[in-house]
Amino acid sequence: MTSAARGCWGWLLLSAGTIAATEYTFDASLFLGSGYENSLARFNQQNAIAEGRYSVDVWLNGQFVERRDVLFRKDSAGDVAPCLPADFWQAQGLTSADEQGEACLTPRERVSGGDWQFDQGALRLQLSVPQAALKRTPVDYVPPAQWQSGENVVFSNYNLNVYHNKNAGRESDYGWLGLNSGINLGTWQFRQQSSANWRRENGRESQQWDALQTWLQRPIAGLGSLLTVGESYTPGNLLGSMAFTGVKLETDQRMWPQSRRGYAPEIRGTASTPSRVVVTQNGRTLYETSVPQGPFILDDLPNTAWDGDLQVEITGADGKKSGYTVPYASVPFSLRPGVWRYGAVVGKTRDYHASDSLFADFTLERGVANILTANGAVRIGDGYQALLIGGVLATRLGAFGADVTGSHARTGVDDLRGWRMQSNWSRTFTGTGTHVALAGYRYSTQGYRDYGDVLGERGAAQKGRAWRSDTLRQRNQFTATVNQTLGGLGNLWLSGSMMDYYGNRGSSSQLQAGYNTTVGRVTLGLALSRQDTWWRNGLAVSRRQQEDVATLTISLPLAVADREHTLSLSGSRSRQAGSSAQMALSGSLDAEETLNYAVSTGWQQGSGGAQSRQDWSGTLQKNTAFGTLNGSVSQAPQYQQWAGGVRGAVVVHSHGVVAGPWVGDTFALVEAPGASGARVGGGQGARVNDQGYALVPSLTPYRYNTVTLDGQEMTSQVELQESQRRVAPLAGAAVKLRFSTLSGFPLLISVRDAAPFPPGLAVRDEHGNVVGMSAQGNQLYARVGTEKGRLTLEGSRCVLPWTLNDAQREQPLIALTLACQPQGLE
């Protein structure tokens, strides 16, 4: 059957589905004697469908499962019903059905209480199975069998920027090109990052090329992990992050359902009757579900990090209510009960040059219970060993995290041993609205060393230099962040940190406080900060730097020509830099928000009565089908500068080359033959090109992504048969999404001087292909691919010759009135 015929039958089924939904019926007597009274009578029944195989979207208990071909056949009761194979039901975790030898089974045959509904117009099959018959899985769970590895492609992201600067009579030019490239072959993914820069200054030119990072990666679904081979970085959650070249295997939490990431406690209880369970937090409903009589467990609550204890209310079918409180507090290392997370690294350190050496890392974390998470780590290198043991304890007083790390290092002549203890705390005080986001303290003995500092000291000693870093010989470090809500009056926040060092390193501290509020549509912000840093040389202070800054910001949205623009005002005062003020206007210049602008002017008065100066700048950015163009210009009494750039991607696939916006690590290639000009939803300006391809710049891995096409700006000679597709890609995949299209000229023909003919007859072209269908009132619809030809109405000797002129070819729907001619006389 041709695509046109399928479209016509889809139209007929859609009509039938609409009639069934509104409880209309076909009056078979209207077709008495035509032979159609029996074939159309079946559409008087809801869910009526002819036996056969259909490509449908399958949904189970309200959740999308997959798109697949489903066989509809008669069941034991004689009704036509969907029949699905045993492997489908097993993949959905059906546990309570008796094993049967049938090749495929309908929902009612597979499990007691099973049911189905079929939307024929949307080709959507809704399956219903009792919750008790299914394995318990998170609501947003995507089966690994649905993860797609995508196409074999070669791609490269490019970011090209050029600058021209004139300062005090001196001119300089700069250029920079960044490349982020990759090759996908099945589940193996090669990645490479590099850059090139060019400079011309004072009559001298220089160029440099840098290969920044090269690696090979592969998602391993069976382990829930990502394998990386080549140049990479160690995880920095327990041990310090380090650049290395080698092999890394670590848990990829992106494979977990969103409802299993982060931390949330398990909620256990018992329902005396079938009940509704509602979980609230600070008066907001966080989770709601229905449970049968007996024990229940809720282990897929969303992660709302640090927002206060959970209130659980159980309402039984008899109207009785009961409830209790579950403590909720977490810090960054908290895991849900039963969750494992690990990382293993073997390789050679990078960027320490002559002192680079082999090493190995291993980290392990485990959510033991609602109140306890345990973790441990070990790092072994050349002349270095470190062991970490710690955990997180969640209590009614907040979540406490603590760990202790012991190290043994040989830096040359010194053999150092020491330990480091660090702790953090998080707590929300619901009554006052005070939220201690994170308060942390770290203490290190004088002999403790990170491996990076050990390698740095070794390399510096070989060159007769001193090694300096923020972590070397650090003694104390304290950080804290506090938020205070004021209801409708706004929000207060406070953050600060301090650290000091052994020996002559000195110390530093900083404190920041602010207030944010909204008055009508105006947003106000006030921020104050103080930074105090000094270095010591023996007992004398060699250098000290203090800075106090106060900043006020005002943001006002403006509606101009049905588009939103934003006016921003800001002013600041600091001890070192003096006073400054700035006014900026930004927004979009087109309805599609692909052309954005920003203009600003500023004023600055130096400290100590220094001469004031005024500057201005403007930027313009355009998102196009092949990438993003940007330009900017700025000027002040001391300087002039302009800049321009282009950012995008080029993808080479088996059928050609596609240019588009900068793509992320996971993206899609749209294939829609003939749909040139169709806009990709969320595609940052991407459109289908003349070859029928476009790029979707970013997809979320291991989640269902819906990709849409908007065909309003396509030629009238092409019709989209489907406007959206759904896909769940592997991380790093480049998946291809094919959208079915119909090409040709759409004809709506009124047939005159002919005997009345019933609707639903096939219309064929001169080659015998079905290209349309008859409708009521002696009309028919057809989509033809040529400018002239002849059509035949099935079951009759009527032939309709047609020819299109230049004006008709451009019409979205071509209306013709043709006379029916007998075969052989046309």
CA distance 140 to 300: 9
Q: What angle do CA 725, 730, 733 make, to 5 degrees?
A: 80
CA distance 396 to 327: 6
Residue 565 parent element (H or E): strand 563-574
Q: What single letter denotes the amino acid at residue 691? A: Q
Check pLDDT > 60 for residue 79: yes
Please indicate whether residue 719 or residue 624 has the higher confidence score (pLDDT): 624
Check pLDDT > 70 for residue 607: no
Check pLDDT > 60 for residue 715: yes
* pLDDT given for residue 20 in this prediction: 39
E strands present in 768-813? 770-775, 779-784, 788-793, 798-803
CA distance 480 to 484: 13
Find the range with the poorest average confidence among 41-45, 465-469, 495-499: 41-45
* pLDDT given for residue 404 in this prediction: 94
Counting Cα atoms < 13 Å in the Cβ hemisphere of 30 gives: 9
Q: Are 388 and 404 in contact (CB under 8 A)?
A: yes
* pLDDT given for residue 701 in this prediction: 92
Please indicate whether residue 431 or residue 779 has the higher confidence score (pLDDT): 779
Check pLDDT > 80 for residue 473: yes
pLDDT grade, residue 6 (50/70/90)?
very low
Q: Are 759 and 34 in contact (CB under 8 A)?
A: no
Mean pLDDT of 623-649: 89
For the entire predicted model, the pTM comes to 0.72
Question: Shortest CA distance to 301 belongs to which of 348, 268, 255?
Answer: 268
The DSSP code for 537 is: E
Check pLDDT > 60 for residue 306: no
Mean pLDDT of 576-590: 86
Q: Are 485 and 491 in contact (CB under 8 A)?
A: yes
Check pLDDT > 80 for residue 307: no
How does pLDDT run across 152-163, given as a tens digit for each residue? 999 999 999 998
* pLDDT given for residue 309 in this prediction: 65
Residue 7 parent element (H or E): helix 3-21
Q: What percent of the chain has pLDDT over 90?
A: 24
On average, the pLDDT of the chain sits at 81
- The domains found in the chain, sorted by start residue, are 49-135 (3.10.20.410), 266-326 (2.60.40.3110), 339-538+547-578 (no CATH), 654-742 (2.60.40.2610), 744-822 (2.60.40.2070)
Q: Which two tokens stand for residue 185?
A: 């072959």
CA distance 137 to 254: 16
Check pLDDT > 90 for residue 819: no
Check pLDDT > 90 for residue 188: yes
* pLDDT given for residue 231 in this prediction: 93
Cα dihedral sign, 329-330-336-338: negative
CA distance 465 to 474: 19
Q: Which two tokens stand for residue 67?
A: 């798109």
How does pLDDT run across 98-154, given as a tens digit for each residue? 445 456 778 877 777 778 888 877 788 888 776 556 666 666 788 888 899 999 999
In a 3-state reduction of DSSP, which class is residue 805?
coil
Counting Cα atoms < 13 Å in the Cβ hemisphere of 684 gives: 22
pLDDT grade, residue 23 (50/70/90)?
very low
* pLDDT given for residue 347 in this prediction: 95
Q: Are 555 and 523 in contact (CB under 8 A)?
A: yes
E strands present in 304-339? 310-316, 321-326
Q: Are 82 and 116 in contact (CB under 8 A)?
A: yes
* pLDDT given for residue 506 in this prediction: 78
| 3 state SS for 97-118 | CCCCCCCEECHHHHCCCCEEEE
Check pLDDT > 90 for residue 317: no
Find the range with the poorest average confidence among 369-378, 418-427, 775-784, 815-824: 815-824
Residue 458 parent element (H or E): helix 451-462
* pLDDT given for residue 754 in this prediction: 75
pLDDT grade, residue 26 (50/70/90)?
low
Find the range with the poorest average confidence among 417-426, 574-583, 622-631: 574-583
How does pLDDT run across 191-225, given as a tens digit for each residue? 999 999 898 887 788 898 988 899 999 999 989 99
CA distance 339 to 505: 42
* pLDDT given for residue 7 in this prediction: 42
Contacts of 180 (CB under 8 A, 6+ apart): 156, 157, 191, 192, 193
* pLDDT given for residue 258 in this prediction: 73
